[in-house]
Amino acid sequence: MELPFAHLNLRRNPFGELTEAERAALAIVDVSQIAQALSDPNYAVQFVGEKGYGKTTHLLSLRTMFPDAGYVHIPEGETRPVPGGCPVMIDEAQRLTWWQRRKLFSSEVPLVLGTHKDYASSLKRYGRKVETVYVGDGTSTDRIVQLLNTRIEHVRRSAGAIPVVSSATVERLQGIYGGNIRGMLYELYQELQNLREIDQI
């Protein structure tokens, strides 16, 4: 028995599941402007998109910039209390109850929402300044190549060569999965499992 993925100079499959901390650390999203805007208590930003497009990654990335942020992920079929903190970040905000939504939208703290449903008009009714980011729309090939190769670099075992994901592969995957990063990751997970020597993927 050998150490895992030692033949590829890696410690594990880079396209497997990451911890929340790793996801935030490895996220390649530009949220600096949004971070600045969050100093306004009336500001609300919502990341809208389908499953696997990167809503949670955006939220986790922003969370690392705000040590006082209140963050909650609401699992399916469950309710969660709205956390305190500033700003308040709600992942899967479409699962808030009507009463929670009303109270939260009318509060005076900046909001960050990850949601399948667009709440722009509802937020505006409460006098919020709203920004909507449709995740997945602006994901370029170069950014995805960077994202994938950063993941590989993160699990490097020692100095020397490691596998690399090429632009051609990402273009092919975009043709199949569009902006669904999670779909791409699973395909690459399988490919790396079968990779016998250090090579371009």
Contacts with another protein by CB under 8 A lie at: 1, 3-4, 11-13, 16-17, 19, 51-52, 56, 73-78, 92, 186, 189, 193
Name the residue nearer to another protein (CB basis): 2 or 108.
2
C-alpha to C-alpha distance for 26 and 11, rounded to whole angstroms:
16
**Shortest distance, CB of residue 85 to another protein, whole angstroms?**
21
Name the residue nearer to another protein (CB basis): 88 or 92.
92
**The token pair that represents 179 in the structure block:** 């902006």
C-alpha to C-alpha distance for 62 and 32, rounded to whole angstroms:
8
Name the residue nearer to another protein (CB basis): 99 or 127.
99
Name the residue nearer to another protein (CB basis): 55 or 128.
55
**Shortest distance, CB of residue 128 to another protein, whole angstroms?**
26
Crossing angle of helices 167-177/141-154, nearest 10°? 110
**Shortest distance, CB of residue 32 to another protein, whole angstroms?**
21
**Shortest distance, CB of residue 106 to another protein, whole angstroms?**
27
Name the residue nearer to another protein (CB basis): 4 or 138.
4
**Shortest distance, CB of residue 121 to another protein, whole angstroms?**
24
